[in-house]
Structure 1
Amino acid sequence: MEYIAHIRESDMKVQTVTEHLLEVRTLAEKYGKKLGIKYIAGLAGMLHDLGKYTEGFRNYIVQAVYHPEAPPSRGSVDHSTAGGKLLFERFHRVPADLSNKEAHINKMILAEVVGNAILSHHSYLQDFLNLDSESNFLNRVQDKCLPEFERAKDSFFELVMNATEFHLYVDKAVEELSDYLKVDSSSTTELKLMFLTKYVFSALIDADRTNTRCFEENQPDTSYNPQQLFSAYYTMLMTKIDSFHNHKHAHSAINQLRQGMSEQCEQFAAEPSGIYTLSIPTGGGKTLASLRYALKHALLKEKKHIIYVVPYTTIIEQNANEIRSILKDDEHILEHHSNVVEEETQDDEHEDGSLSLRQKLKLAKDNWDAPIIFTTMVQFLNVFYADGSRNIRRLHNLSESVIVFDEVQKVPVRCVSLFNQALNFLKTYAHSSIVLCTATQPELDYVRHKLEIEPEAEMIHNLDHVIEAFRRVEIVDRATNEHFDNDTLTEFVITQMRDVSSVLVILNTKSVVQALYRSLNERNLSVPIYHLSTSMCAAHRNQILDKVKALLEDKEPVICISTQLIEAGVDVSFQCVIRSLAGLDSIAQAAGRCNRHGEDLIRQVYVIDHIEENLKHLKEIKIGKEISRKILIDLSRDASLHGGHILSIQAMEKYFKEFYTELATSLNYSIPKLGQEMTTLLSGTRKNNTYYQAYLSKHRAALPLFLLNSYKTAAENFQVIDNLTTTVVVPFGDGPEEGKDIIAELNGQQSIPDLTRLLRKAQQYTINIYSYEKDLLSKNGSLVAYLDGKILALKEGAYHHEYGLNLENDSPLDMYMF
């Protein structure tokens, strides 16, 4: 009998189970080798579809493909359990011979780690122990009956690898596991195995989907030579940097300082891989300096990827365009803003017979296999901790990389410990170099789950002198003794415009931003006024920013009202900035948008207290605001305190320590409804795991597993942003491959390559809406579902040409200005 893994849609060619298992094993070995776990990952690849060696699955796939009018019953064949069951049956035994106890125990652990990845490859990692004091994993590998299990095993040992070779292969995997566990004595075994399991799962998911896509497209997987590309990129970057020497102001003190910091970054590239800080002040040439380090380090240490992680989508296109213009390469620079298609979290094993639309979306190339990648903090954290298989598929491509975190102070507070643990894993096991790049370094090593930063971590020498040299603004405290509302703020902005030609106002909530924008427009000023918020898609915001930048460069009058999205990494320079009181890091970042390039000797940044902002649901901003207020009060009483000014290193250290102390109970991602912390669910021990204690009480026996991790429960409760949001495509722009055009294309029949292209392009035309907004839009008839409901899009009336999202669905279509 010919056992079938897949049947190609275009020509009905069969890929046999044997071919698929061997090819996936080869890919998984390649991905695993980066972590020193070639055989562990290969074992997962080789066994993942063992259950397809059955007559039941063969009949299932033939029925699904050749008789779509009468498809087989949903979920009638389980093929993903068999591989995990084989490992558990053969290797999860208490050793009779205690002469090599470590090897026997490691075989049992291997059966748990690899077995979980295998039986989860159509959904997400199973709970070893769940909130009902049961084990989803044991229910599958120990208790579930598979009718043709013996047939599947016999076919595997006959067609893939005989039993003797298989046991030798497992022995090599056990040796790798032993070596892996000996690394880093400071980490717990539970934490090490959590990251190992997720990495193996990532390697398996990507190997499986990549092989299936290549078979379906009848094309080999394309690859690139990172060293060759990085060498060419480095030459082009240095040509650009050398050209600065011919600039008429090249020998000014500031430009000499920029040049010196850039050279320090290049010299630092020779240091071993690790976690470092790059604290170049705003306007110091951070983007090119970090790229110079990254390219040089990648060449010296043979890294495969350079990944920029930023807090907001606003920054991605700006930074990517800046780098793309230097490197002259569109093909190999990937921008990943968001997941346009909502992640499927249910088991999709029943769809493995036919190439449905959902299957095409799943197979679309979305694995971060690119030399240079730009993504967001949300996407980075989702890779490690979010539910579904799309995110975690990318994890293995974070290894052997240089990862630059731009504006790292924006790590969401409740994710700090999870962030630190992920970075420590990437440094210690995945051979990646981490750069924490910001003008306001947070105290990430102050928390309980510390960041393992290098002892001599800072790339820039004599930082106090550098900060003072780049000081171009005066912070004016208008928050300590007075209050502003939108009426008084409108008057204040108008007053400032009598003395300067450009004003930027940054407020804490979208509602007051929109209200101030309307208030200023009602005054009929002969000045262009612009509005920016996350209610607008990235393409829309970038269009507004381009207009603002053009006016600033021409020294024309302009007013911009924005939420904090403009603070991090957006290259604009206003003559005056007004910042609503917030955390000290936000004030420092706002100051970086004023007199950014030293056009004037000194300019003013006004810090105000806006009484109409409702911060009830913005706990972190509210706490940061109060700590900053205390520091401002201290300075008003004694100007010598905290380093002598609000943006000093001493003031920043005091701010972050108080900030993290105030939010100490949130740092480990508390889940109130479960009474658990995320860090405990993912890597808790028998002593601190309440689920385990409940299991003991319920069953009067110990759980017969080494691992207790509640992967599925943790992932289902993980959200980087507090409120659950949904991504929707918006009809902004009516040119080729803009919002309206993309929405129209998504409604047609698309190949896998076309879907890959469209989904990447659509990222610039999406916004995230909260649950209540989604409900209201649905009630108003403003949402349209495409691709069998996998993608949501706004109707035109629900997107305003000035504000973006319009919940009332009453935007004047004839006034659209694209």
Structure 2
Amino acid sequence: MSVPTGGGKTLSSLAFALQHAAAHGLRRIIYVAPYLSIIEQNAAVFRVALGDTANDLILEHHSMAEPGNDGIAHADDAESEAAQRLAENWDAPVVLTTSVQFYESLFSNQPSRCRKLHNIARSVVILDECQTLPPGYTSATCGMLEQAGQYLGCSIVLCTATQPPWRQDPVRLPTGISSMREIAPDPVELFRQLRRVEVTWPTQGAAALDWSEVAKIMLRHPEILCIVNTRRAALEIYRELVKSGVEAVHLSTNMCPAHRLHVLSAVAAALKAGQTCRLVSTQLVEAGVDLDFPAVMREMAPLDSIVQAAGRCNREGLLNSQSGAGGWMRVFLSKEGKMPRSAWYRNGAKIVEQDFLACGREPRIDHPDDLAEYYRRLLPTGDLDSQGIGEKRSDYKFRQVAEDYRIIEGATTPLVITTWEPARREVDTLLNDLRRQTSRSVYRQLQKFSVNVYEHELRQAASACVMDYLPGVNICSLPYDNAFGLVIDGVVSVPVF
């Protein structure tokens, strides 16, 4: 289902899945999304659409909703036993889960995760924002999805505005999906009709901008979103805006989930009220976050990221007129030029610069052909089975497969933040409750106030952290800034999305 951002993919995919399941006798719908924010947002949409007022049709299965399986005796074990079985088995008409939970279950050798496989069979599986799968796992994942269709009787729906080329190809992707058809009628015409943004690209020889210059451009717009590639960049632009004497908002995974949701809610309310709102963010707002700015700036990035960023601009099309699209987005080069460590990300940005712009061609973000060409150039730049999963599966090395199929790379440790002032009392209460009696419910609530840090960051923060303060709980008393989150050695922490 190739539909532009803001084109109604959520309800359209649900409507298709319901009709398809009824027509072919399939048993359930499994909706898979990369981020918790998308699942929580769309779970509410699904419940309204299906009239699930009693919460007996829809199961949310992810780290913030599942009952837990930590081997600890809990006070609420008896009441959660049925929920635990339901979550492990996915025994519900509609299941919403994360990409990590879905994909890693397919490749797992653990009984608790494999227990749901029989209920994946004969299901409609909606893979929302499927382009977020790291390209190094494309071959293994497509091979598994092909088998899910062939042997388990599943129908797989690839749902995104930036459709990756997962179709089987004897040279490029021999393990790809063999039978695919487009659900959306005439995607080219659909993209044309839903064109909402005019993009300004950097011209050949255009000067790269420093962060103060980016801030000055933002000051010309009362409502504007700027998305950059690193945490440091987001922080520097935010500081430049504040130095200018204006209010600004910073958003990144420096913040615990509760803090991020609070900021997103405040931003959405400000935009709805027509108030001044200048937001600087990392890539976390690019997929599935329902924001609608009249103007967006995007640091140079892979084309699929740029298309997703454009989806936060004039999202509802209210600025359009007879003369054309009313939203404005500027793609810019930065003097710093730093990018995430992923080679795929750097290669994607290089293709935009060298194979499009340097050749005098501005990529058309509203035309599927340009995106298809981008992917054709990107995928040969790396290994589509970077962990050798296919060979290990052929050799029946299932334990190694389960260990190596990890679509979120980089080991992190969760720290419960005790120093965010708006939540200090609530966190203290939860810790006291947990001290008196272990409870899965309390563990889940504490996750809202947790920040994940890398191993080297944990070493820096060691003096302010108490590991296993309570069973399974690490606490952190480092400063936590209400504008940009956790600070370690003067630098905001936590991996960028």
TM-score range, shorter chain: 0.7 to 0.9
Instruction: Pick 1 or 2: higher relative contact order, CA cutoff 8 A, min separation 6.
Output: 2
Equivalent residue number for residue 285 of structure 1: 8
3-state SS of paired residue (1:780)? helix
CA separation in 1, counterparts of 2:73 and 2:406?
A: 29
Equivalent residue number for residue 495 of structure 2: none
Equivalent residue number for residue 20 of structure 2: 297
Q: CA deviation at 1:760?
A: 4.8
Equivalent residue number for residue 502 of structure 1: 223
Moved more, 612-621 or 383-392: 383-392
Q: 2:166 touches 2:177 (CA, 8 Å); kept in 1? A: no
Structure 1 pair 413–810 and aligned structure 2 pair: CA distance change class (3 A)? closer
CA separation in 2, counterparts of 1:356 and 1:761?
A: 17
Report whether the alignment pairs 1:681 with 2:392: yes
Equivalent residue number for residue 333 of structure 2: 609
Structure 1 pair 810–630 and aligned structure 2 pair: CA distance change class (3 A)? closer
Moved more, 568-577 or 729-738: 729-738
CA separation in 2, counterparts of 1:648 and 1:561?
A: 27
Equivalent residue number for residue 408 of structure 1: 130
- Within the candidate set 372, 375, 381, 2:103 is matched to 381
Kindly provide the amino acid, as one letter, of the partner of residue 195 in structure 2.
R
- Within the candidate set 52, 59, 65, 1:334 is matched to 59
Equivalent residue number for residue 667 of structure 1: 384
Q: Which has the larger radius of gyration?
A: 1
CA separation in 2, counterparts of 1:668 and 1:554?
A: 47
Equivalent residue number for residue 794 of structure 1: 475
Q: 2:108 touches 2:398 (CA, 8 Å); kept in 1? A: no
Q: 1:507 touches 1:562 (CA, 8 Å); kept in 2? A: yes
1:20-39 residue pairs with structure 2 within 5 A? none
Q: 1:747 touches 1:786 (CA, 8 Å); kept in 2? A: no
- Within the candidate set 456, 465, 468, 1:782 is matched to 465
Number of aligned positions between the proteins: 473
Q: CA deviation at 1:331?
A: 2.8
Q: CA deviation at 1:711?
A: 1.9
Equivalent residue number for residue 241 of structure 2: 520
Q: 1:415 touches 1:667 (CA, 8 Å); kept in 2? A: yes
CA separation in 1, counterparts of 2:279 and 2:378?
A: 29
Structure 1 pair 494–316 and aligned structure 2 pair: CA distance change class (3 A)? same
Q: Deviations over 1:383-431 (max 9, x none)?
A: 1335755444443332232221111111111111121122112212222
Q: CA deviation at 1:578?
A: 0.4
1:75-90 residue pairs with structure 2 within 5 A? none
Kindly provide the amino acid, as one letter, of the partner of residue 606 in structure 1.
R
3-state SS of paired residue (1:503)? strand
| TM-score w.r.t. length of structure 2 | 0.85
Equivalent residue number for residue 633 of structure 1: 357
Kindly provide the amino acid, as one letter, of the partner of residue 508 in structure 1.
N
3-state SS of paired residue (2:464)? coil
CA separation in 2, counterparts of 1:608 and 1:580?
A: 5
Q: Deviations over 1:663-696 (max 9, x none)?
A: 1xx21123xxxxxx2221122xxxxxxxxxxxxx
Kindly provide the amino acid, as one letter, of the partner of residue 715 in structure 1.
A
Q: Could you list the runs of 5+ residues in structure 1 that have no partner in the other structure?
A: 1-277, 345-350, 671-676, 684-707, 812-818
Aligned-residue identity in percent: 31
| TM-score w.r.t. length of structure 1 | 0.53
Report whether the alignment pairs 1:436 with 2:158: yes
- Within the candidate set 394, 397, 401, 1:714 is matched to 401
3-state SS of paired residue (1:561)? strand
CA separation in 2, counterparts of 1:489 and 1:803?
A: 19
Q: CA deviation at 1:584?
A: 0.8
Q: 2:164 touches 2:375 (CA, 8 Å); kept in 1? A: yes
3-state SS of paired residue (1:806)? strand
Structure 1 pair 745–294 and aligned structure 2 pair: CA distance change class (3 A)? farther
Q: CA deviation at 1:723?
A: 1.3
3-state SS of paired residue (1:508)? coil
Q: 2:415 touches 2:476 (CA, 8 Å); kept in 1? A: no
CA separation in 2, counterparts of 1:307 and 1:561?
A: 34
Q: CA deviation at 1:522?
A: 1.9
Higher helix proportion (structure 1 or 2): 1
3-state SS of paired residue (1:773)? helix
Q: CA deviation at 1:486?
A: 1.1
Structure 1 pair 522–398 and aligned structure 2 pair: CA distance change class (3 A)? farther
Q: 1:780 touches 1:809 (CA, 8 Å); kept in 2? A: no
Equivalent residue number for residue 486 of structure 2: 805
Equivalent residue number for residue 771 of structure 1: 455
Structure 1 pair 317–356 and aligned structure 2 pair: CA distance change class (3 A)? closer
Structure 1 pair 471–387 and aligned structure 2 pair: CA distance change class (3 A)? same
CA separation in 2, counterparts of 1:611 and 1:390?
A: 49
Q: CA deviation at 1:503?
A: 0.4
Equivalent residue number for residue 726 of structure 1: 413
- Within the candidate set 266, 278, 283, 1:564 is matched to 283
Report whether the alignment pairs 1:317 with 2:40: yes
Q: CA deviation at 1:570?
A: 1.3
* RMSD (CA atoms): 3.2
Q: Deviations over 1:22-78 (max 9, x none)?
A: xxxxxxxxxxxxxxxxxxxxxxxxxxxxxxxxxxxxxxxxxxxxxxxxxxxxxxxxx
Q: CA deviation at 1:494?
A: 1.4
Structure 1 pair 442–328 and aligned structure 2 pair: CA distance change class (3 A)? same
